[in-house]
Amino acid sequence: MQGRYGPDELNLFLSRLGMLLCILSLFPPLRICGAAAWAVLGIAIFRMCSKNLPRRRQEREQYLVLRGRVRSRTALLRRRWQDRRTCRYYVCKQCGTTLRVPKGAGKIEITCPKCRRAFQKKT
Ligand SMILES: [Zn+2]
């Protein structure tokens, strides 16, 4: 493996995805997943054995940025679900920031902490 790229986070993800697709292909309606599993595992092996290190590092960086976006979005959705009885969420129309306000406070003026835009909402 000298001079080869080796394993990284993207390869771990691809390997796990390939194994999941392999398991899914055991069920008759999802047989097509078998071909997809081989393709994904092939990509993972190709990346590990590749000598084009700059390109593999670039792919890894893109993967980490995408994973970070998905994780932060998932965390926001989880928090919204946990706070659904006590808080309401609004999106600032000027900057797109998500704002959390207490529920049941009546008609209140909400000021965005990022862009200072104020708007009224009933909570
Ligand atoms: Zn704003």
Residue 99 Cα to ligand 1 midpoint, Å, equals 9
Distance 63 CA to ligand 1 centre (A): 29
Say how many Å lie between the CA of residue 109 and the centre of ligand 1: 13
**HEC-encoded secondary structure of 59-109:** HHHHHHHHHHHHHHHHHHHHHHHHCCCCEEEEECCCCCCEEEEECCCCEEE
Whole-structure pTM value: 0.75
Centre of ligand 1 from the C-alpha of residue 91, in Å: 8
**pLDDT tens-digit profile of 49-96?**
999 999 999 999 999 999 999 999 999 999 999 999 999 999 999 999
**What's the rounded mean pLDDT across residues 2-19?**
95
